[in-house]
Structure 1
Amino acid sequence: MSKTNTIITIGREFGSGGHEIGERLSEKLEIPFYDKEMLDRASKDSGIAEELLKAHDEKPTSSFLYSLVMDTYSLGYKSGSYSDMPINHKIFLAQFDAIKKLAEEGPCILIGRCADYALEDYRNVLSVFIHADTVKRAKRISRMYDMTEAKAKEMIIKTDKKRGSYYNYYTNKKWSAVQSYDVCLDSGKLGIDGCVDAIIEIVKIKEATKKAVL
């Protein structure tokens, strides 16, 4: 039995350790962890090849395609109905559906991919954003990928720009803005374990507050 009833979504700057934080939370709270695994689920449920999902993963699309997505929402999009749509549109909605299905299966950790937006109507969700100083992130990435810190910084800038553009197109919020999330944590100052411990404590407070209200 898991140690929480809360679904935790984690947005993250590249190199801030969001993936590792999610994995450790999963172990401590004994709930499933989904990062790239979301693509596998979306592929199985939608029939879209996983290679296509990976190729478009958290990458920005055009404003024209964004308008099509918003039109689909306003016209009453039905889950799993992807016919006659551009591929970027299909991929976003397939991931959107997969996130909702995973959430309906129970508490879990969901990394990126606008999961906080997909689940914004769920009461048992805690949305977290992990960030850190660029210098610290560059050191981390250079170690992980065996590259110079200068190259790591370039990679950070490009990846953050893609993630931000993707999030900003598909949600009504702004990526990395404090107003877009329940909690924002600096992994450069708190460390990976510090962020994990902080999130666990916040989950306990959230669940205790909910019980008190009820």
Structure 2
Amino acid sequence: MNSTSSIITIGREYGSGGRQIGQEVAKYFGIKCYDKELLEHAANESGICKELFENHDERPTNSFLYSLVMDTYSFGYSSSGFTDMPMNHKVFLAQFDAIKKLASEGPCVMVGRCADYALSEYKDCFSVFVHADTDWRINRLSQKHNKTAKEAKDMINKTDKSRSSYYNYYTNKKWGAASSYNLCVDSSKLGIDGAAKAIIQAIEIFDSIKNK
């Protein structure tokens, strides 16, 4: 059995196959892969209904100005209390806590949801970003979801914009920028299997250096 002591986080462009790649990496190491499962864990831990997590999932804040005000209170941890903060912040913080809790249970793969930021102080965390050529993503989504090229492109633009705004806002880093991650992989050049293998190899190198 191949093993790792690392927590792998995967950010991804829409249609790049990030979730599938994450699942392959997790399967190789015999560890769990959390994608939308993170929402369920966060809902269970926080008592906020799962539908609210799905509605706010990797979407930017609805009230940007109000959120800027709330930042002054460190996401609402002030005398006014947790209940006064907007729902998008409650959802983010609940996910943040769920990510940390799951990471404390041992090695795993976490897809999206600013997991790299939530675990930035963990020495065992290795962050990856999966990107791909737009035409390749359009073709992949068209086939997968039976969409026209235009529909697939619209889905890509909308989802990437949403994920980017969400990540940039909450992390103060730049979504998709090489400097924000430990490794960036182009799945349109390597293919899904090739991208998974590249990440696995990088993790094995990271583990060997880290454990010296």
Judge same fold: TM > 0.5, yes or no: yes
CA 1:131–1:85: 2 relative to 1, 3 Å: same
Partner of 1:67: 68
Counterpart of 1:30, as a letter, is G
| Shift, 1:69, TM fit | 5.3
Counterpart of 1:184, as a letter, is C
CA 1:176–1:69: 2 relative to 1, 3 Å: farther
Partner of 1:150: 150
1:83 is paired with a residue whose SS is helix
For 1:67 and 1:95, the matched residues in 2 are separated by: 20
Partner of 1:57: 57
For 2:68 and 2:168, the matched residues in 1 are separated by: 13
The C-alpha deviation readout for 1:139-176, integer Å capped at 9, x for no partner, is 00001110111110111001000000000110020001
8 A contact 1:32–1:108 mirrored in 2: yes
| Shift, 1:68, TM fit | 4.8
| Shift, 1:207, TM fit | 1.1
Q: How does 1:61-140 map to 2 (within 5 A)?
A: 61=61, 62-68=63-69, 70-73=71-74, 82-140=82-140
Counterpart of 1:57, as a letter, is D
8 A contact 2:34–2:111 mirrored in 1: yes
The C-alpha deviation readout for 1:112-158, integer Å capped at 9, x for no partner, is 01000000000001100000000000000001110111110111001
Partner of 1:38: 38
| Shift, 1:72, TM fit | 4.1
For 1:75 and 1:141, the matched residues in 2 are separated by: 39
TM-score, with length taken from structure 2:
0.93
Counterpart of 1:115, as a letter, is A
- The answer to which of 67-76 and 129-138 deviates more is 67-76
Aligned positions, number: 209
The C-alpha deviation readout for 1:39-98, integer Å capped at 9, x for no partner, is 000000000000010011000113334425533438868xxx843221111111111111
For 2:47 and 2:150, the matched residues in 1 are separated by: 40
CA 1:143–1:106: 2 relative to 1, 3 Å: same
8 A contact 2:67–2:86 mirrored in 1: no
Counterpart of 2:105, as a letter, is E
For 1:69 and 1:3, the matched residues in 2 are separated by: 42
- The answer to which of 85-94 and 127-136 deviates more is 85-94
8 A contact 2:76–2:85 mirrored in 1: no
8 A contact 1:31–1:108 mirrored in 2: yes
CA 1:71–1:161: 2 relative to 1, 3 Å: same
8 A contact 1:7–1:125 mirrored in 2: yes
Partner of 2:13: 13
TM-score, with length taken from structure 1:
0.92
Identity %: 54
What's the Cα RMSD here?
A: 1.7
1:89 is paired with a residue whose SS is helix
The C-alpha deviation readout for 1:148-205, integer Å capped at 9, x for no partner, is 1111011100100000000011002000111100000000001111111111111111
Partner of 1:207: 207
Unaligned runs of 5+ in 2: none
CA 1:68–1:109: 2 relative to 1, 3 Å: farther
Unaligned runs of 5+ in 1: none
